[in-house]
Amino acid sequence: MKIECADVFYRYDVPGDGWALRDISFSLEQGEKVAVIGHAGSGKTTLIQLLDALILPEKGDIRYDGQSLLALSKTKKLFSIRRRIGVLFQFPEQQFFHETAYEELTFALRNFFDLSAEEIERRARDAAERFQLDVDMLAQISPFHLSSGEKRKLALASAIISSPEVLIFDEPTAGMDASGRKELIRIISGLQDVTMVLVTHNLEDFLGIVDRCIVLSEGRMAADIGRGRLVDRLGDLEAMGVVPPLVLSVQDWLAKAGIRTGETLFDMKQLVGHLKSGG
């Protein structure tokens, strides 16, 4: 699904507060993957909530495959878009509302799709196992009683279970253990056709996956940088409060010492291999 954000402005209903986001415009083609980065309070979660249609722009509009969210909201048809999107909130417990973790996991399948009980069970088992969650345990426990890492895994499994066309994740690796992180990145890497917006404080995690980085600063779009150009913009990233991925910093240092890798490499092992082979 294609996503267009056109001249979007948003402000919270707090007296005296200005725009939380202003003049945000970008467009994502189907299958394109973008990281949204920026310092705390720069507006990342606000952007995510707008893209999920949890809040609506005060000015401007967001279009999914050309369909206006404002128009869909007026005609009460947001559901037709929401069923095609998988969402992860920054604080997963804010998206839970069922008695058991199993009901939470299968919510989208049960409500948006016409599937047999066996098919729902099969998909639930598959999605849970991908994140090392025991589906029988999920049926016994409240989602609120899971550990914070398990809550995130449950929310991620719930987001991917219906094979959505769009994934919108707010800090997907925050608080995750190494195996959960690795599995998430493996799953995302396999979803070529899925359009993705990933908010992260850790660009390094997703460097191998994203096509572009949008940098937010004080509610504005400070930069929209293609992956291949990131290494030239490390100073700008730092100035905007973003810690540059180490693999890019090393290539910058090497370049300054007269050692060039040719095209930018996004993985440390690849970089070491390249240097070992004599470039």
Ligand X SMILES: Nc1ncnc2c1ncn2[C@@H]1O[C@H](COP(=O)(O)OP(=O)(O)OP(=O)(O)O)[C@@H](O)[C@H]1O
Length of the chain: 279
Element (H, E) at 275: helix 268-276
Say whether residue 49 binds Mg ion (CB under 5 A): no
Which residue of the chain is nearest Mg ion when measured via CB? 45
Say whether residue 20 binds ligand X (CB under 6 A): yes
For 255, residues 6+ apart whose C-beta sits below 8 A from its C-beta are: 231
Whole-number Cα distances in Å, 215 to 40, 62, 70, 227: 12, 18, 25, 13
CB of 56 to Mg ion, least distance (A): 19
Residues 70-109 vs ligand X: string with x where CB under 6 A?
--------------------x-------------------
Contact segment (CB under 5 A) with Mg ion among 38-46, 113-121, 179-187, 258-266 equals: 38-46
Cα Rg for the chain, rounded, in angstroms? 20
Of 172, 192, 167, 194, which Cα lies nearest the Cα of 183? Answer: 172
Residues 38-77 vs ligand X: string with x where CB under 6 A?
x-xxxxxxx-------------------------------
Say whether residue 45 binds Mg ion (CB under 5 A): yes
**Binding residue for ligand X, selected from 7, 12, 142, 232, defined by CB under 6 A:** 12
Whole-number Cα distances in Å, 50 to 12, 32, 92: 12, 18, 17
CB of 42 to ligand X, least distance (A): 4
CB of 43 to ligand X, least distance (A): 4
CB atoms within 10 A of CB 83: 15
- Residue 49, φ and ψ in degrees, nearest 5: -70, -35
Partner that binds at residue 162, options ligand X, Mg ion, none, CB closer than 5 to 8 Å by kind: none
- Smaller CB separation from ligand X, 208 or 241: 241
* Positions in the binding site for ligand X (CB under 6 A): 12, 14, 20, 38, 40-46, 90
